[in-house]
Structure 1
Amino acid sequence: MSSQTATPGQERQRSRQACVPCRQRKRKCDGKLPCSTCTGYGYICDFKEVAQQNPLKRRSDSEGSSPQAAKAPRVSSEPHDSPAVPPTQQHGVLEPSKQRYVGRQSSVAFPLFVGLDVQAKNPPRLHSFAYNAGIRREPGYTVKFQMVEYIPWDIAKSLIDVYISTIHPVFKFLDEGQLYQQGEEHWHGQPQGCNFEAVLSGVIALGSLFKGALGQEREMRVVRHAKDILEDYHVGRAPSIEQVSAWILRTIYVRATSRPHVSWLCSCTMMHLVEATGLQHEPEAMILPPTKATLDSTEGRPDTVKRIAQVAECLHVLIAYDYGRSLMNISIHSQEPVRLSISDADFTPQLCQLVQAMPVGNASRGSVVEPQQLVLALERVTSIHVDHDFLLLVRTDLAFCLYRRLRIMDFRFQQEQLDQVIGVGVDALGAAHRLSDRNEPWWNILGTVFQFVCVLLAMDTPASLVKLPESMTVLETITDRLNTHLATEALVTARQLIRASMDKKRKGLTCLERALGEDSTEAATNNVAYAAPPIDGIFNPFSQPPQSPLLDLDSLLDMEFMH
């Protein structure tokens, strides 16, 4: 049913019937589904009870209105207005002035809805009324460090350049033009706020990590500054989209420099802020309470906001899946990757495609996932084309995650599935070598190659073992270039596993020779006489044959070697 526009000399057209929310609140209804009133105020439009009422009563209800109703804010009705609507479809409330998102069932939102139900002239604002006893005042902003006094603008700008050229193409969620503009204003007497300083500190720290311009001590001071801002009590009171961006940068840095548990904790905090700011929801799915404030700097750019949420989820899934920790399973995973209308390189949609191929709902409980789901995911992941060396490593990491879960389930691998894993592993060798040559210390430049060695040993097939020499050569090259404790530790451990595999096969061969009645003394003597060649600058623990019992490769494959 459609309403007609009134013209001079014509009588105004009225709706023949009103929807349930309009009748209950005695508001005008145009009879459409949804009607303009429900659309404007966020009500759930429904005509299902109209047919059961008296036509005269329907007309009386549909024509009624009150002055307070005309001033009602755009807030959805309570669930009892439309009991047939499932809870999963109920909208939350977004407070634009604080960029704070709360569920409509929360205690914070309830006074507002009560005020609307009783048609209060000034309904309560969205506020945590009586949340505690209030016997202590809340602390103010405590961060005293000033970035502009610590690093000159020319150095800061050069590190932003490094970030934009290396990390930004893969995790593209910042507006580079705005970043440069705000940064210059921030350094020249126009402060852009503590949230922006946290974002810029993260950018500068990552630029220094990839270029080494600041040195470790100054770089760590910048990292601590961003952490101090993000964990400050006063800043944490008002979540913002800029804080989500700053936590993404911090999570990337921590993943590249720290331990698995710390990385996972950072990613969880990042995802909680995504939820707190409502980034996982479409704009039309949120209710706005009465306010004169506007959204932050991302208002009017829904693609940018959605991209921030998708990048955060990708980072969280990568860390949680690799470490075997639980995931925050939110609605972002099923959304189409955002493709921004930009001319320069943008590999973020490819990253999203890789992550979205993973069954995130059960990522931390591989034992209860159907093997066929993991097999299909493995096929999807290995078939996705990517154009960046880091994403080649990410694709391999995800394939290894699926392989490990299938292996724990005692899955009978077909040669096709093993070839898929080996294929992406070989691609990763070249990518890791190229990243090493460019001095780009992505977090998986070492770990993916090491894990590939472990996977090849675990497969223990002619097709896998033939790839071991090449894999070890790349691992040795990267170790020499990095010259770090973790690189040396990985190389030594890989050689230990290969040595254990050799000893296991030799013992099996000895048993076979004895079964044939052949003398194995000469073979045993040759085994003892064998000594691995020394490694320049690295202690070689294999100069003598190991005296320990046979190692269990299955348990070693699943060990966490990060200390």
Structure 2
Amino acid sequence: MHGTIGCVQFEYDCYYEPAQKRRQLRMSSPTQRTAKLDTEESLQHFEESSPTPSADDDIERFGSREANSSAAFVRKLAVSIDPANAPPLHLFAWNLFMGTRKVHGYQPVARPITSIVSRATMESLFTIYLDKFDRCYGFINKQQVAQRIQARWQTDIADGPYDAILCGIAAAGYLFSCRETVSLEMDLIESAKQILDRWSDLEVSVDIVQGWVLRVAYMRMTAAPHAAWVASCTMMHLIDAARLHIETENIALPDSPAAPVNEEERELHRRIVGIARHSNVWLSFDLGRSRVALHNSKFALPTTRPHGDFTTELLRILPLAESLDPQRDVSLSELKSLLKEVLSQQHTEPPSVLAQTNMTMLICRRLRALDVQLTGSLLDDVLALTARSLRGAQAMLNASSPWHHVANVPFQVVCILLAIDSPAAIGQLGDAIKTLSNVSQGYNTDATREALNTACLLVWLQQKRKEKDTQSLTDILSAYSPAPQPFDQTTNLALDPLWSAGVGQAWAGTDSTWLDSLVNDMPNLQGLDFTQLLEQGFQ
């Protein structure tokens, strides 16, 4: 029953692969599988990670996961517009690179960080990290990092767990300063990966967890979806093992005595756990997969740091996002209440604003799945936020800050605007497409070009559908109205104010006597000057 629902709603051809082929697929490397395959696999096989309750509950749970996934929403939107030409199920614009941020033909080499970058370069990259990354993803002790940098380049020691943090910071510095990948960035990532893989089996420390959080954050902005999700789950399990999510006076690690935790350390733990949960939740939502829940965890917002810290602002959304877990039933009234609460929050830094927009669009997708249309002030507030997010995406593009939402949010805004399909929403489409075009020019990758082309395809499909609808209305008037045919005989184009001024002139030249007769027959319409109304409509 469950699998059948997926095939019907997403228009899959139902078939069962041979057992040998399925085994080969599972044995393949995650980095060798495309984002399209990742998405289709995760969304098509919900039943692998879900219980099988009654049929009604089954349908409801599937619908919830479908609504949480941006890929599924895009697919359903396109199918509703034009089933024959809709693009396939795929995570369009998930990030700017989709796993392609690498140096062509270069094989990364893991080596000590002191042989990759000099101390001066490391300090410069750390400055970039603090200015662009740490402001919204603040989960390191800045003073401690500065001290570690000084000590690491003064002594020739073997690389330890903290080197994974230094490599992650340096790689992020390159990512946020170089639009073209450099080989040193790839060496830093490979070095961090090998350190984390080796030390994660030996000890579970705060340093190891911080290194994994940096790794997942980097992968969310550069890697393919499946690989990033797997890494985020590993990160969450390590947090569970380190017990960083449990706020007690002492934290007892395996095979070690309880260590006293002061308030400064507890505050750092809250930031680490908060960013980790934020990453895992949204990765799971996007792919339609299970997230890793930390038991016995009480979410507590960290205290805002002075001088440009927006991490707490970002994490304020996290409890609201977790309340939309697919396993939990959410009523219509609760969805509307959540939407109002998200819209009422004050977000200032562009990455935080785009995270707020992402949460807003998730709720809009859930409402859309319930066939609820936004109207009135609520719709105005949503459109105000989407417009603000487009400006934020452009600001991050100008600053060479390739957060994953730089491409993702503008693309999803296009989809939401097409779904809303009101004059105000359609009026904002141009800005959304322009922002996507600028992103594609600034970061000319396969992922950004694909996102722009797909967005334009969706707009074109909507246009063709409107043309067909307008032609049907024109045919009705042509067949049954007492007036001359209200369309241009030379072009046979539907006379809609959205068309060119030349088409509008055809209406302006039409005899409106039949409309005047209509007014005389219907008292409620008296007082309207239809000739003036039509002329104003074409200006």
What's the TM-score once normalised by structure 1's chain length?
A: 0.63
Q: Structure 2: which amino acid aligns with 1:260?
A: P
- Are the counterparts in 1 of residues 474 and 486 from structure 2 also a CA contact under 8 Å? yes
Determine whether 1:472 maps to 2:438: no
Counterpart residue number, 1:364: 326
Counterpart residue number, 1:96: none
- Are the counterparts in 2 of residues 324 and 363 from structure 1 also a CA contact under 8 Å? no
Question: Within 1, Cα distance between the matches of 2:139 and 2:385?
Answer: 27
Counterpart residue number, 2:248: 283
Determine whether 1:515 maps to 2:455: no
* Offset, 1:396: 0.5
Determine whether 1:337 maps to 2:301: yes
Counterpart residue number, 1:104: none
Label 1:298 to 1:318 Cα distance change in 2 as closer, same or farther (>3 A): farther
Q: Structure 2: which amino acid aligns with 1:184?
A: Q
**Aligned with residue 384 of structure 1, among 329, 345, 365:** 345
Counterpart residue number, 2:237: 272
Superposition pairs for residues 161-240 of structure 1, below 5 Å? Answer: 161-189=127-155, 191=157, 193-212=159-178, 215-232=181-198, 235-240=200-205
- Are the counterparts in 2 of residues 186 and 192 from structure 1 also a CA contact under 8 Å? no
Deviations 1:471-525 (A, max 9, x none): 2222222222222222222111111111111110111111111122248684865
* Offset, 1:278: 0.4
- Are the counterparts in 1 of residues 343 and 360 from structure 2 also a CA contact under 8 Å? yes
Question: Which of 489-498 and 184-193 deviates more?
Answer: 184-193
Counterpart residue number, 1:397: 358
**Aligned with residue 315 of structure 1, among 276, 279, 285:** 279
Q: Structure 2: which amino acid aligns with 1:175?
A: N
* Offset, 1:204: 0.6
Counterpart residue number, 1:44: none
Question: Within 2, Cα distance between the matches of 1:203 and 1:407?
Answer: 40
- Are the counterparts in 2 of residues 314 and 351 from structure 1 also a CA contact under 8 Å? no
Determine whether 1:438 maps to 2:403: no
**Aligned with residue 354 of structure 1, among 314, 317, 321:** 317
User: What secondary structure sits across from 2:317 in the alignment?
Assistant: helix
User: What secondary structure sits across from 1:188 in the alignment?
Assistant: coil
Question: Within 2, Cα distance between the matches of 1:448 and 1:333?
Answer: 30
Label 1:294 to 1:193 Cα distance change in 2 as closer, same or farther (>3 A): farther
Question: Within 1, Cα distance between the matches of 2:311 and 2:158?
Answer: 27
- Are the counterparts in 1 of residues 251 and 258 from structure 2 also a CA contact under 8 Å? no
* Offset, 1:336: 2.9
* Rg larger for: 1
Question: Within 1, Cα distance between the matches of 2:463 and 2:263?
Answer: 62
Q: Structure 2: which amino acid aligns with 1:495?
A: C
Superposition pairs for residues 69-88 of structure 1, below 5 Å? Answer: none
User: What secondary structure sits across from 2:213 in the alignment?
Assistant: helix
Relative to its length, the structure with more helix (as a share) is: 2
Deviations 1:48-76 (A, max 9, x none): xxxxxxxxxxxxxxxxxxxxxxxxxxxxx
Determine whether 1:428 maps to 2:394: no
Q: Structure 2: which amino acid aligns with 1:498?
A: V
Deviations 1:213-269 (A, max 9, x none): 99432211211111111112x542311111111111111110101122222222111
Label 1:420 to 1:183 Cα distance change in 2 as closer, same or farther (>3 A): same
Question: Within 2, Cα distance between the matches of 1:235 and 1:179?
Answer: 20
Label 1:235 to 1:447 Cα distance change in 2 as closer, same or farther (>3 A): closer
- Are the counterparts in 1 of residues 275 and 315 from structure 2 also a CA contact under 8 Å? yes
- Are the counterparts in 2 of residues 182 and 192 from structure 1 also a CA contact under 8 Å? no
Counterpart residue number, 1:409: 370
- Are the counterparts in 2 of residues 185 and 192 from structure 1 also a CA contact under 8 Å? no
Question: Within 1, Cα distance between the matches of 2:178 and 2:161?
Answer: 25
User: What secondary structure sits across from 2:316 in the alignment?
Assistant: helix
Question: Within 2, Cα distance between the matches of 1:331 and 1:513?
Answer: 62
**Aligned with residue 461 of structure 1, among 401, 422, 428:** 422
* Offset, 1:189: 0.9
Label 1:147 to 1:504 Cα distance change in 2 as closer, same or farther (>3 A): same
User: What secondary structure sits across from 1:387 in the alignment?
Assistant: coil
User: What secondary structure sits across from 2:235 in the alignment?
Assistant: helix
Where structure 1 has 5 or more consecutive residues not aligned to the other structure, the ranges are 1-142, 533-563
Q: Percent identity?
A: 27
User: What secondary structure sits across from 1:231 in the alignment?
Assistant: helix
Question: Within 1, Cα distance between the matches of 2:268 and 2:422?
Answer: 47
- Are the counterparts in 1 of residues 220 and 404 from structure 2 also a CA contact under 8 Å? yes
* Offset, 1:449: 0.8
Q: Structure 2: which amino acid aligns with 1:436?
A: L
What's the TM-score once normalised by structure 2's chain length?
A: 0.65
Question: Within 1, Cα distance between the matches of 2:113 and 2:136?
Answer: 26
Superposition pairs for residues 38-117 of structure 1, below 5 Å? Answer: none
How many residue pairs end up in the alignment?
A: 381
Q: Structure 1: which amino acid aligns with 2:211?
A: A
Where structure 2 has 5 or more consecutive residues not aligned to the other structure, the ranges are 1-108, 480-484, 500-539
